[in-house]
Amino acid sequence: MHDREELYIGGSWVKPNGNGSIGVINPATEESIGSVPVGDASDVDAAVAAAREAFPDWSQSAVGERVDLLNQLSAVIKERGEEISQLITAEVGTPIGYSRMVMVGMPRVVSRSYAKILDGFTWEEEVRNSLIVKEAIGVVAMITPWNFPLHQIVGKVAPALAAGCTMVLKPSTEAPLNAFVLTDMIHEIGLPDGVFNLVSGRGREIGEAMSSHPGVDMVSFTGSTGAGVRVAELAAPSVKRVTLELGGKSANILLDDADIQRAAGSAIHACFSNSGQECSALSRLLVPESKRGEVIEVITSKIGQYSVGDPLDETNRCGPLVSKRQQESVTAYISKGIDEGATLVAGGEGMPDGLEQGFYVKPTVFADVTPGMTVFREEIFGPVLSITTYSTEEEAIQLANDSEYGLSGGVWSGDEKRAMRVARQMRTGQVSINGGSFNVTAPFGGYKRSGLGRELGAHGLEEYLETKSIQR
């Protein structure tokens, strides 16, 4: 059991003022694996005060010191990689191989990437008679989700450290244990007291107290669009900076000259990775009418390889969903797709064959999905792929953009110039061409209701900086 009873404030583990604990359930076994304490608004006050006290010295720290600490953080994540991978698999249900490669591998690389970015970052420039200076924004409140728990934390902590900010973190209630291990590591590498603080608890209390706190200069939130809107509302009266990484319903366009075998096979992983619990999942597959049968044939032949079951079994590609509530939500969407007349190609309602416990759903594919259907419009956050046909390239682009979201996207074509032309017309924060791989140094974020601001790379660092002009 991983029971934690203290919060991390001002460089020390301290007893919370809040009462009770939050239990953490393994979604594969439905058994308790640990708990974390419930903080309250007074704990937030103490953490913000510690961060404000630490800010003047940390914001003026030598860049070389920050580089060294970021490299140390990357090294200790690597050193404890297997332990953290096993823990995240137990918290989230992510297949263990994916946990090792992505859940732990990405945070390690992101930490190191900010050390490299700092080496060549331009903090000052002259514009006529002005000196333009970049400075740390101040105290940052960080509210993170459960689906990529450590990566989403490090994706905020690393650029904040690089910028010279101090911070208060509230991890998710579903997968908070890895945040406590990260805090142990941060303490171990000797980050100055008060630079990083951890307060666990319920979003309605801790998240809202952080978002509205007058001592917080910036809120960085990742989660649902509805919760992001609430964060922005609470932050507005104090006019603090807000960055939001929210939902998605991203389109994957297969053009008529694409390699259908490769593109359709890749489309399964692009939607079902991490059991579909990705805001950037390519959950809407747009295919030419003339290629509908071929695409469905490829997907039908390959989806059987997407095995579902125990996430510690390295042969399984899909684990459980994170919680009973998430399982019920995704199952309801599958039922809705059937009721609204979409053609069920694979999967469907009920537990996968051979599984009697755990929060599993069947990886599901619908064809003949029209823009008016719920499975076309709403973010499902599970392994459900919708296939929609189009007749012209212009219609494909229109369908791709027919969404309140704009986080990710994909284009497949035998002509890269054509694919680039289509990608440029997609109203979304990132697009992969022919399966182009994710780049942790490129900016990540969305258009429309998918959010505000960017994470990762130099663009992510800029979010944590203020700009000052000094005239002379």
Q: By C-alpha distance, which of 384, 428, 426 is closest to 268?
A: 384
289 classed as catalytic: no
Q: Would you tell me how many other CB atoms lie within 10 Å of the CB of residue 427?
A: 16
Q: Are 143 and 207 in contact (CB under 8 A)?
A: yes
Task: Spot the catalytic one: 91, 174, 245, 379.
Answer: 245
Q: Are 249 and 377 in contact (CB under 8 A)?
A: yes
466 vs 164: CA distance, rounded Å: 11
247 vs 229: CA distance, rounded Å: 11
Q: By C-alpha distance, which of 132, 134, 130, 133 is closest to 472?
A: 130
Residue 52 structure tokens:
């404000």
271 classed as catalytic: no
Task: Spot the catalytic one: 271, 279, 455, 463.
Answer: 279
| The dihedral formed by the CA atoms of 256, 258, 259 and 264, expressed in degrees to the nearest 10 | -80
113 vs 111: CA distance, rounded Å: 5
| The dihedral formed by the CA atoms of 63, 64, 65 and 70, expressed in degrees to the nearest 10 | 90
Please identify every residue annotated as catalytic: 245, 279
